[in-house]
Amino acid sequence: MIHDIQYIEGSVAAPLGFKAAGVKARIRYNKKDLALIVSEVPAAAAGVFTTNKVKAAPVVLSARHIADGRAQAVVVNSGCANACTGEDGMTMAVEMAREAAGYLGINAEDVVVASTGVIGEKLPMDKIKAGISEAASVLSSDGGHDAALAIMTTDTVPKEVLIKLEIGGSVVTIGGIAKGSGMIMPNMATMLAFVTTDAAITPQLLRKSVTYAAERTFNMVTVDGDTSTNDSLIVLANGLAGHSIIEQEDENFFIFRDALERVCKALAMMIARDGEGATKLIEVEVRNAPAFADARKVAMAVANSNLVKTAVFGEDANWGRIICAAGYSGADIDPERIDIFIGDEKMAENGAPLNFSEDRAKEILGCKEVKITLDLHHGSEKATAWTCDFSFDYVKINASYRS
């Protein structure tokens, strides 16, 4: 469904009733590294989290805190993941929630906690507590950008989006921030993403919308094929826009769901574009598959292929690597029906080579954004994945991540 959606400047503090802050707690570096996002009233809450069996304490705690479909605040730190830290990890996550709740005058169970950074190190709680205190004192409706800066690790740019639309005669805004550059293949949602909205929707339908959006956006992003221990997508909807609450799957529900998907897609593409060492954004579109699951498998197999990613970096139109990835994806495909395009240049038809222009293909691969298309001619479903090329700098960054 296509709706009248406007992209405007701002992010998570822009929807009615939300404030945010990002401050320097100096957890690991001298940068903004602690963020607070708060709704002035309790909000419907939904989230999806990493499927990695090794889950960080904040993930476990936050899943517990939003189980009732309600939350009012999010506290996030970068610089330390608080993952694989034993019983102390949960103690520290609980302490973060309690500390934020105390300054905000709300229940600790209504605070979502998230952490990102190095695995296997404990949080410096004295710095965390000081950061929470400072963030609570500078909360602002203009604080979304600072919050986006505070959740970054190896990201080179903050990731923010804000859209405006109409639901039930009322203006509704949806804002989001995300971080992610490496250890990216979510299998849930994203590395860390936080979305706020003043839309009014039941927790059940919010959860359904979040799951739908994540499956088609964040779950279609990969940088390096690694699923983090801390991946979390949290959405808060406080209902202050003024329209009647969405409590059934009617037109307003689909308008909201599709708008949420737009926000998630924008953030997901920013993450892929900002992959560690990336020089190009790669979009992989799979058309005419027998089922969405098959389209997704093919798209993700191609996007995850290091051979495809290095070929794009080297501007080599090696379409054989693309069809190879489709073949091992596990999807229902007929290799003799597959057409492959790089940009608008058709490389292969019915699984066989065409006499394409190498010069034109190299020109396409030299662009900052490269689109790969596979037409399976085997159904009517489609899916799109986003990734980045694999450059020399990716190895350099990850060879010295802890230093």
Catalytically active residues are 190
Q: Specify whether the CB–CB gap between 46 and 181 falls below 8 A.
A: no
**Count of other CB atoms within 10 angstroms of residue 188:** 21
Q: Which sign, positive or negative, has the C-alpha torsion 98, 203, 192, 326?
A: positive
The gap from C-alpha 40 to its chain's centroid, in whole angstroms, comes to 25
The alpha-carbon radius of gyration of the chain (Å, integer) is 21
User: How far is the C-alpha of 129 from the C-alpha of 117, rounded, in Å?
Assistant: 18
User: How far is the C-alpha of 314 from the C-alpha of 105, rounded, in Å?
Assistant: 55
Which amino acid would we find at residue 402?
R
Q: Specify whether the CB–CB gap between 234 and 144 falls below 8 A.
A: no
User: How far is the C-alpha of 121 from the C-alpha of 127, rounded, in Å?
Assistant: 14
Structure tokens at 79: 């610089």
User: How far is the C-alpha of 62 from the C-alpha of 48, rounded, in Å?
Assistant: 10
> Which residue in 184, 320, 211, 199 sits closest to 255, CA to CA?
199
Structure tokens at 147: 């919050």
